[in-house]
Copies of this chain bind each other. A is one copy, B any other.
Amino acid sequence: MAFYALIMAGGTGTRLWPASRRDRPKQSLRLIGNRTMFEHAIDRIAPVFQPEQILVVAGSEHTSDLSDQAPEVPAQNFIIEPMGRGTAPAIGLGAIHLRRRDPDAIMAVLTADHFIADIERFRAVLQAAAEVARDGHLVTLGIEPTSPSTGYGYIQQGEGLDQADGFDVYNVERFAEKPDEETAVRMVESGDYTWNSGMFVWRVDRIMEEFERQMPDFYIQLAEVEGVLGTHGYQPTLQRIWPRVDKQAIDYGVMEGARNVAVIPVDIGWSDVGSWGSLAELLARMGNRDEQGNVVVGEHVVIDTENSMVFGDDRLIATIGLDSVVIVDAGDAVLVCPMDREQEVRDLVHRLEREGKKKYL
């Protein structure tokens, strides 16, 4: 059974505005070093998958840019979604492409815009997860929590299964939605919970079986697209069907009710790089924090400023007397925001949408 990667490269990373924009989404940003998030995602799996075995699902407006970033991946491996419908449809679309190519395929669903520091261990767990998936398990990669975060969903592990390549494997007891702080503390202290990373490994026939059982309407839509795969009818059919597909996340649509779900808890230095605070933490962990606790990208001149995140482009950012503030200078916009309110960047972007300020989106 051959092993394939399906990289989910939709989404824009709203909370990383003003760096992230509609036409310059998070996966194309150079947030960490000189490689884009998508380039990091390709780099770290290169030894595990041949370029021909890497598929990418992305929106039509981003495909060409992403293809430029990974020229070794064949152009036909970029699967274009007419519009984003959530992770379940994106995975379904990838799955029918893969099933047609190899009905026995094992597929790893991976993300284009997360960061993983311990690449070696990540590669190892992918191989281990493929072993576990071989017998029909839907395998999730659970991130061992480093804090009681309220920003992630959690996976509760049940009884242990066998080890695979030295990794412990557990049945999944349940998937828990993003918790409140009290619940998060309790879950993390119990030792039974890991963060849901959104990375999965399974046989393509098993995930199709779950779509059929749990999302039957979507499965029928998907089957119609699958029926014309490789013909001139594919594009028109996809364009016709996709707007009618219900939005659904794979967690709620499939994983919570699926059979034979396993989790492998891992410590791979994972970060979703979901917001400026999250990026600041990651860069700090990688040693990019100065003695005043500032994380700075770009040119910064500073008087008495501490614990702040300064993310610049080619302009100088000067600060006096700030503590725990995020400043981002990107393109035609500047953001200034206290670190503890960085989640509200999303609201700001929605406001720009409401006010019709399209040039800044």
Contact = CB atoms under 8 A, between A and B. Distances in A.
Contact of A317 (B333, B344, B355): B333
Contact of A348 (B303, B329, B347, B351): B303
A318 B333 contact: yes
State the number of copies, please.
2
Interface in A324-361: 325, 327, 329, 332-338, 341, 344-345, 347-348, 351-352, 355, 357, 360
A1 interface: no
Contacts of A338: 320-322
B318 A335 contact: yes
A77 interface: no
Contact of A321 (B315, B333, B341, B351): B341
Nearest to A334: B317
Contacts of A316: 18, 332-334, 357, 360
Contact of A301 (B303, B329, B348): B348
A69 interface: no
- The majority secondary structure among interface residues of chain A is strand
Interface in A162-180: none
A320 B317 CA distance: 18
Interface string A76-118: 0000000000000000000000000000000000000000000
Interface of A: 17-18, 301, 303, 312, 314-322, 325, 327, 329, 332-338, 341, 344-345, 347-348, 351-352, 355, 357, 360
